[in-house]
């Protein structure tokens, strides 16, 4: 059971919830860029929440199925068809042997997720099937899918799909909420105020390691380098020339740039949907509020 790539997408990657447990040897967890959408795609199929999915970025490809199965797409809306018929998102869809799924270019955010019943089938690497691009490992041969690649999926089974569930997720990526970062006090109050009020634009140089954003340049009070330390997911690092980078899923595990802010866990899926040219502002919230929002979001995905 497999899909064959008939037409290659921009960056199709096999991902799951990530490879936790190895940042102390320098291995970042990676995993889906928008874990919320990835979970939703799996839940609509009655899959395990961590089953491997295909992450499709900016524009997708055409994938030929050699066996019938059930699929589900979630995340940003990409125009998607089977035999010329539009495929709805967030709904289990049956696809027949010999049919091809065509995914076009996104009209909204950066990513959508293709889940198949019981998940895609690639080898485990340290308990995860996520692609680790930096080391060209994990997932499907450590890289994005290319034309003529064949990606196996697991055998579907006869089953009832879960009753249609609603997931009230905020995908508005024009406001991204953040808490103060560990080194916010290295920046004076007016600089912090600048950061939390001005618009930022997502740069074309962004990738899964970091979302580079352009906006006001931020300057520290002193020129002294800080001591390198662990990097939290979503940390907004300020480089030596005053540019900001949002630490993302494939990030380096430690870094020496000061962190002015940190995107809250409950908004990380929005970061996964940011695309070059997007304009947004950061909204400062408290750590307590951030944790509450995280717990509320987690509750939505209880199986």
Partner 1 sequence: MDQNTFKPPTISPASDRSIMIQFNAEISEYIHQQVHFYSTFLLEFHEDKISNLSPAYNSILIRLKEGVSLWRTIAKLKQLFSENQEIKVTAKKKIKIPVCYELEFAPDLARVASLTGLSIEQIIHKHTTGKYLIYFLGFSPGFPYIGGMDSNLETPRLESPRTNVPAGAVAIGGKQTGIYPIQSPGGWNIIGRTPLTLFNWSQVKNPALSMGATIEFTSITKQEFLDDQESLF
Query: Where does this chain bind partner 1 (CB under 8 A)?
Result: 20-27, 29, 125-126, 132, 134-135, 137, 179, 181-182, 209, 225, 227-235, 239-241, 252-256, 262-266, 287, 290-291, 293-295, 298
Query: In the bound complex, what is the minimum distance in angstroms from residue 114's beta carbon to partner 1?
Result: 24
Query: In the bound complex, what is the minimum distance in angstroms from residue 123's beta carbon to partner 1?
Result: 11
Residue whose CB is less far from partner 1, 82 or 285: 285
Q: Cα separation of 73 and 253, whole Å?
A: 31
Strands 53-57 and 111-116: antiparallel
Residue whose CB is less far from partner 1, 162 or 240: 240
Question: Can you tell me which residue has the tokens 């020339």?
Answer: 241
Residue whose CB is less far from partner 1, 101 or 178: 178
Query: In the bound complex, what is the minimum distance in angstroms from residue 240's beta carbon to partner 1?
Result: 5
DSSP 287-299: HHHHHHHHHHHHH
CA 292 and chain centroid, separation: 21
Q: Cα separation of 73 and 155, whole Å?
A: 18
Residue whose CB is less far from partner 1, 88 or 256: 256
Residue whose CB is less far from partner 1, 67 or 284: 284
List, in order, residues 6 or more apart from 179 with CB less than 8 Å away.
261, 262, 264, 284, 285, 286, 287, 290
Query: In the bound complex, what is the minimum distance in angstroms from residue 270's beta carbon to partner 1?
Result: 15
Query: In the bound complex, what is the minimum distance in angstroms from residue 36's beta carbon to partner 1?
Result: 13
DSSP 9-56: -S--EEE-S--TT-GGGT------SSHHHHHHHHHHTT--TT--EEEE
Residue whose CB is less far from partner 1, 79 or 232: 232
Query: In the bound complex, what is the minimum distance in angstroms from residue 41's beta carbon to partner 1?
Result: 18
């Amino acid at each position: 059971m497999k899909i064959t790539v008939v037409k290659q997408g921009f960056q199709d990657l096999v991902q799951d919830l990530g490879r936790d447990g190895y940042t102390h040897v320098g291995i970042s967890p990676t995993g889906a860029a928008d874990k919320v959408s990835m979970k939703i795609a799996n839940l609509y199929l009655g899959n395990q929440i961590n089953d491997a999915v295909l992450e499709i970025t900016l524009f997708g490809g055409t994938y030929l199925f050699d066996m019938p199965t059930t699929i589900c797409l979630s995340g940003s809306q990409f125009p998607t068809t089977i035999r010329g018929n539009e495929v709805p998102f967030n709904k289990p869809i049956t696809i027949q042997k010999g049919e091809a799924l065509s995914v076009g270019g996104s009209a909204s955010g950066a990513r959508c997720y293709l889940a198949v019943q019981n998940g895609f089938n690639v080898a485990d690497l340290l308990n995860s099937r996520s692609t680790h691009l930096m080391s060209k490992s994990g997932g499907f041969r450590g890289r994005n899918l290319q034309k003529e690649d064949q990606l196996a999926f697991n055998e579907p089974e006869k089953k009832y799909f879960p009753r249609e569930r609603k997931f009230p997720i905020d995908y508005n990526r024009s406001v991204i909420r953040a808490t103060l970062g560990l080194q916010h006090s290295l920046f004076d109050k007016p600089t912090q105020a600048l950061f939390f009020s001005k618009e930022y634009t997502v740069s074309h140089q962004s990738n899964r390691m970091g979302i580079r954003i352009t906006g006001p340049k931020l300057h520290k009070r002193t020129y002294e380098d800080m001591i390198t330390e662990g990097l939290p997911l979503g940390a907004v690092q300020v480089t030596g020339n005053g540019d900001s980078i949002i630490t993302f899923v494939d990030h380096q595990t430690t870094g020496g740039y000061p962190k002015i802010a940190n995107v809250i866990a409950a908004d990380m899926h929005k970061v996964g949907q940011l695309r070059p040219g997007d304009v947004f502002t950061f909204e400062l919230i408290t750590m307590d509020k951030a944790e509450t929002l995280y717990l509320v979001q987690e509750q939505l995905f209880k199986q």
